[in-house]
Structure 1
């Protein structure tokens, strides 16, 4: 790819074209504008490619955040060149006091976390090799989980089940024998789901969004596609688990989940995921993104159980590059990242 093909220019965010990439979709821009981000969008001068940008933080020194972008195909050896050129062209369209541009890159990592891991320092050296400014840094935290499981929904339901881990198939059928009922919820069910979600966050130790955050998400997605679905699993009329899944063109993305501390023996979360996969397939989706796992099957990792759960449904484990910063103001960037280093990340 030749970076000379880049021609960054402002475009109306409301006129962005539909894309399978939820986080670069018009819906995500409208939603994030309701949650406090200032939204900008830019054409890249490469066909119909465009890029959604969120301005975050203090107006005096904002951070320009690009979720799951730029969503263009770039050879691995040109990642650094492309980010540098894109950032330099972007700068004149951002506030003069902008601290940095953060790209939560959709590109797959050249490193395998097990067979060929790389330290952040080594990855930075490779990313900056041959660039003019050597000013691209691995971000202290990732806004989007870089590791995920992608499940191809094109096979038949029989073949999808056959590709799962035997224990996963067993638990799906066990939930059916227990009479777990999975159905769609609406925004009216959000208070019940959010109470479960908050309890889950406290047990698991992750940061929880306020209920208003999800109310804004559902109000934004009220009209057609991309659609946002709430699925609830009940046993004897009691909600034991619930998940939120977005459909963007032919991709379904599992965004948020919650489960009760009790009633685990009926395997409600397994029933939910299978229902979400089947519903996405029936809606014409070709891919189900389980959205977020630990980087490897390490039994000592605090989220090893999540890895086992999600990979049990089959699919391909994907390792993306994570979040990278092109820095404009080194002084304010140092202050910003010092506080951010204590953050657990993964806060879409």
Structure 2
């Protein structure tokens, strides 16, 4: 029997799945609710999903399950999810399962879905193992990255936890302009911090020199996993390599909270041979950060495909045309 759960009930359900992706956490759902999404948390037996609905023109919506469903019996969940989708006039159900391409999805779990959907979250990433002693992590890093971490410490850079989201946001604006990527609003970063910090699921770390902030990042955790979602730096004192020490301290922070993996979250969606051949000449898109991220000793991973199920066919195909066109701009 289907249950539609409150935020607190959903977190109770997730206790059986401690390593659930942070994007399926109740707090993340509340974050998205604060910025225009509707949230439904649907449970059937031991399986559930936090479904986000985005309003479209004409009273229609788009339904999206990021990094879910949670639990084993997906086939029993879909009829109930689709009932809610029909209530919300969803034109499609978009699902990005939590897991890696080489891991199998149970047969029949996504019957009726197309596996060629346009991804919302980056598919390719680098995941750093935090198992063993920190010296072992350093050994797996590129020599220059190890050097830059130590150089930052020698040159007087320090890293500390901070609650100064406004300063971080100003750095994000500089970084977005410099590197050509979009930036959320100050309110978005503040809300993410306010919702997840009380659960110790996020930390804002700042790298400073002589008490001047040079770089910052927001690292998120849940269970044994950590994710580096947002990072920024100023143009000041870049020769002191603050961003390298900042990542190192974030890894140490995550490890101290029981995390055994650190996801650097987003590199170009190419095979390793292509990445290694082209990273020095390309700076567009995620190429600009790959050169930096590759040095930390992570393993290149690719997430499952994005699956889509048409629910209102004419509108679905119109959406596909628009989304494809937008992705090529």
Whether these two folds match at TM > 0.5 is yes
Displacement, 1:247?
1.8
The answer to whether the aligner puts 1:138 opposite 2:116 as a matched pair is: yes
SS in structure 2 opposite 1:138?
coil
Unaligned stretches of 5+ residues in structure 2: none
For residue 307 of structure 2, the aligned residue among 292, 311, 324 is: 324
- Please state how far the C-alpha of 1:156 moved relative to its aligned partner: 0.4
More helix by share: 2
Once residues 29 and 135 of structure 1 are traced to their aligned partners in structure 2, the CA distance between those partners, rounded to angstroms, is: 24
- Report the aligned-residue RMSD: 2.7
For 2:91 and 2:267, how far apart are their aligned partners in 1?
Answer: 30
Q: Under a length normalisation based on structure 1, what TM-score does the superposition of the two structures give?
A: 0.80
State the 1:86 CA deviation: 4.9
Residue 255 of structure 1 aligns to a residue whose secondary structure is strand
Of 85, 91, 99 in structure 1, the residue corresponding to residue 82 of structure 2 is 91
Which residue in the other structure is 1:4 paired with? Answer: none
Q: Say if 1:172 and 1:267, in contact at 8 Å, map to a contact too.
A: yes
SS in structure 1 of the partner of residue 296 of structure 2: coil
In structure 2, which of residues 216, 236, 248 is the aligned counterpart of residue 242 of structure 1?
Answer: 216
Out of 257, 276, 301, the residue aligned to residue 231 of structure 2 is: 257
Q: How does 1:1-348 map to 2 (within 5 A)?
A: 9-16=3-10, 17-18=14-15, 19-20=18-19, 21-45=21-45, 47=46, 49-58=47-56, 60-72=59-71, 86-96=77-87, 97-110=89-102, 136-140=114-118, 142-186=119-163, 189-225=164-200, 227-296=201-270, 297=275, 298-299=278-279, 301=282, 302=284, 303-343=286-326
Q: Which shows bigger deviation, 159-168 or 298-307?
A: 298-307
Q: Which moved more, 1:299-308 or 1:22-31?
A: 299-308
- Asked whether the equivalents of residues 112 and 309 of structure 2 are also in contact (C-alpha less than 8 Å), the reply is no
- Contact 1:183–1:231 (CA<8 Å) still a contact in 2? yes
Q: Distance in 2 between matches of 1:282 and 1:265?
A: 29
Give deviations 1:191-218, integer Å, cap 9, x for gaps: 1110110121122221111101111112
Find the aligned partners of 1:131 and 1:256 in 2 and give their Cα distance: 32
Q: Encode CA deviations 1:137-191: one digit per residue, 9 max, x unaligned.
A: 5223x221111122221210111111111111011111111111111110xx111
**Rounded Cα–Cα distance in structure 2 between residues aligned with 1:41 and 1:108:** 24
Contact conserved, 1:61 with 1:332, CA < 8 A, in 2? no
- Paired residue secondary structure (2:262): strand
Report the CA distance between 1:22 and its aligned residue. Answer: 0.4
- Please report how far the alpha carbon of residue 335 of structure 1 lies from its aligned counterpart in structure 2 after TM superposition: 2.4
Q: Contact (CA 8 Å) 1:182, 1:233: kept in 2 or not?
A: yes
1:276-306 C-alpha deviation (Å, 9 max, x unpaired): 0011111222221111111231335523342
Counterpart Cα distance in 1 of 2:168 and 2:110:
50
Tell me the distance in 2 between the aligned counterparts of 1:108 and 1:57. Answer: 30
Number of residue pairs matched by the alignment = 309
- SS of the aligned residue for 2:306 comes to strand
How far apart in 2 are the matches of 1:257 and 1:28? 18
8 Å CA contact 1:244–1:256 kept in 2: the answer is yes
Alpha carbons of structure 1 residues 31 and 203: separation in structure 2 relative to 1, 3 Å: same
The separation in 2 between residues aligned to 1:274 and 1:130, in whole angstroms, is 42
Instruction: State whether residues 114 and 307 of structure 2, in contact with CA within 8 Å, keep that contact through their aligned partners in structure 1.
Output: yes
User: What is the distance in 2 between the residues matched to 1:231 and 1:144?
Assistant: 23
In structure 1, runs of 5+ residues without a counterpart are 1-6, 75-81, 112-126
